[in-house]
Amino acid sequence: MRISSFSIHPVAVADPPLRSSYGRHAPYALRTILVLTTTDGITGISEAHGGDGSLAALEAVRPLVEGMDPFHLHALWEKWGKPSTQGDRSQTWLVPGENPHDARTRAFAAVEAACLDIIGKAVNQPVCDLLGGRARDAAPFSAYLFYKHGGGGGLGPDARDDEYGECLTPESMVRQCRQMIATYGFREIKLKGGVLEPALEIETIRLLRDAFGSTFPLRIDPNCAWSVETSVHVGIALQEELSGGGYLEDPTSSMEGMAQVRRQLLAQGIDTPLASNVAVTGLNDVVPAWGEDAVQVVLSDPHYWGGIRAVQRLSFLCEALGMGVSMHSNNHLGVSMMIMAHACAASPAMRFACDTHYPWQSAQDEVLAGGRVKFVDGAVVIPAKPGLGVDLDMDQVARLEERYHQLPYRKRDDAEEMRRHVDPSWQRVLPRW
């Protein structure tokens, strides 16, 4: 069996004006759908980050993929060329999906997922069962809360309903959380911070704890918006709220900054775990992060870590080092939803609920045949179908691809959106507080 066709579809997906320390989300998020077909007539699908960078990285590997045997993933990786260890591979300044230093690793992840989908269909097994057998039948996800402006994403006649409404206060965040949990049944809560004054974000977490109680673990992620001093202040203030299965995610930038926060919190008798998807972005970073005790929970991602098997390797490495492992998310569609669910199911040490942006996208923007992935008690059940267990609606892919070609932008730039809509002089400053 050989790959006979390699088809790349850039798509644009309506996205509400969500806020983070990077700025504000644009009206459409960019993604890429990959379809591989074999000489046996089996189709494998995948989803990757979007825009010109992703498309160029995938185009560049087309000659390696066309004609390959989809079972020979190690041989493919050998030919791929090792990822560069030069340059800033952190996500301090560039959002995931925009860093040129891991573009080739991200392209491998996309191809690997499509090959695993093909292999699963060829042997009639779900992807997670190809990789040592599933550690769980359903992948739990967290309620991923965002401060946001009014609006549901999209533009003009293509605008979406604003399902959750404006949310720029602690009180409105509790409403957002209630609504999301009522819809999806999530059992863990993540707040994207780094948007309001730290005192207001502390108040938000306290209101969430009051509203949902200690059985819902809480985490906050300001994407490096805070100094070491502010991070320690927040860690002390939220000592109780972030305990019991929660964590403090990337409060400040750099491995050294994280290690300083950790030392100062421990000196106060506070051992709230620090999580990271900014300082730690690849397997090479894990042992240094462990050695400096800068990070206690590593946030995997089956897109930029290099695939589902890379997440599984990370899970075993973290377990051996006594570190926790969880999963980062970007805006994504249903194909990535299933890639993430299979990565979680195949990673025994993944004991935190994973992040997902899925609630922020609508059925109107789904590319899966049969509609959106369903959640049961906050988890995605692994389908009893081979491969990833989902198929594409190619008419819908074509509609989203047409919309992509109508857009004036080809990369994610949240700072530019802030200047356009909120403050013409806005710049990303780290630390902001």
- The catalytic position among 192, 303, 342, 357 is 192
C-alpha count within 13 angstroms, C-beta hemisphere, residue 104: 14
Query: C-beta of 221: minimal distance to Mg ion in Å?
Result: 4
CA-nearest of 254, 291, 290 to 88 is: 254
Q: Amino acid identity, residue 374?
A: K
Instruction: Say if strands 138-140 and 143-146 run parallel, antiparallel, or are unpaired.
Output: unpaired
Give the C-alpha separation, 411 to 17, whole Å: 16
Beta bridge partners of 221: 192
Query: C-beta of 194: minimal distance to Mg ion in Å?
Result: 10
CB 368 within 8 A of CB 393: yes
Give the C-alpha separation, 179 to 144, whole Å: 12
- The catalytic position among 148, 328, 332, 342 is 328
Query: C-beta of 219: minimal distance to Mg ion in Å?
Result: 9
Q: Which residues contact 51 (CB under 8 A, 6 or more apart)?
A: 10, 30, 97, 98, 409, 410, 411, 412
**Where in 41-100 is the site for Mg ion (CB under 5 A)?**
none
Query: C-beta of 55: minimal distance to Mg ion in Å?
Result: 25
Q: Which of 97-105, 175-183, 200-208, 271-279 is the region at the interface with Mg ion (rule: CB under 5 A)?
A: 271-279
Among 54, 92, 105, 277, binds Mg ion (CB under 5 A): 277
Q: Select 277 or 331, whichever has its Cβ closest to Mg ion.
A: 277
Q: Select 227 or 277, whichever has its Cβ closest to Mg ion.
A: 277
Q: 184 is written with which tokens?
A: 């999806």
Q: Which of 117-125, 214-222, 306-314, 376-384 is the region at the interface with Mg ion (rule: CB under 5 A)?
A: 214-222
Residue 269 Ramachandran class (φ > 0 left, ψ -120 to 50 alpha, else beta): left
CB 388 within 8 A of CB 338: yes
Q: Select 188 or 221, whichever has its Cβ closest to Mg ion.
A: 221
Instruction: Say if strands 189-192 and 218-221 run parallel, antiparallel, or are unpaired.
Output: parallel
Query: C-beta of 355: minimal distance to Mg ion in Å?
Result: 8
Q: Select 241 or 301, whichever has its Cβ closest to Mg ion.
A: 301
Q: Select 272 or 396, whichever has its Cβ closest to Mg ion.
A: 272
Total residues in contact with Mg ion, by rule CB under 5 A: 2
Q: Which of 181-189, 196-204, 230-238, 274-282 is the region at the interface with Mg ion (rule: CB under 5 A)?
A: 274-282
Indicate if 405 belongs to the active site: no
Query: C-beta of 329: minimal distance to Mg ion in Å?
Result: 9
Q: Amino acid identity, residue 46?
A: S
Q: Which of 78-86, 127-135, 150-158, 217-225 is the region at the interface with Mg ion (rule: CB under 5 A)?
A: 217-225
Residue 125: exposure state from Cβ atoms within 10 A (0-12, 13-18, ≥19): middle
Q: Which of 114-122, 260-268, 277-285, 305-313 is the region at the interface with Mg ion (rule: CB under 5 A)?
A: 277-285
Q: Select 101 or 420, whichever has its Cβ closest to Mg ion.
A: 101
Q: Select 221 or 401, whichever has its Cβ closest to Mg ion.
A: 221
SS (H, E, C) 52-91: HHHHHHHHHHHHHHCCCCCCCHHHHHHHHCCCCCCCCCCC
Indicate if 328 belongs to the active site: yes
Q: Does 21 bind Mg ion (CB under 5 A)?
A: no
Query: C-beta of 401: minimal distance to Mg ion in Å?
Result: 29
Measured CA distances, 376 to 136, 184, 212, 381, 388 (Å): 14, 7, 19, 7, 18
Binding mask 170-209 for Mg ion (x = CB under 5 A): ----------------------------------------
Query: C-beta of 299: minimal distance to Mg ion in Å?
Result: 6
Q: Which residues contact 272 (CB under 8 A, 6 or more apart)?
A: 235, 238, 239, 242, 243, 246, 247, 248, 265
Q: 258 is written with which tokens?
A: 């994280």
Q: Which of 178-186, 196-204, 208-216, 269-277 is the region at the interface with Mg ion (rule: CB under 5 A)?
A: 269-277
Q: Which residues contact 67 (CB under 8 A, 6 or more apart)?
A: 2, 3, 4
Q: Select 253 or 396, whichever has its Cβ closest to Mg ion.
A: 253
Among 47, 201, 221, 414, binds Mg ion (CB under 5 A): 221
**Beta strands across the sheet bearing 3-14:** 3-14, 28-38, 43-49
Summarize as ranges the residues that interact with Mg ion (CB under 5 A).
Answer: 221, 277
Catalytic residues, which ones?
192, 328
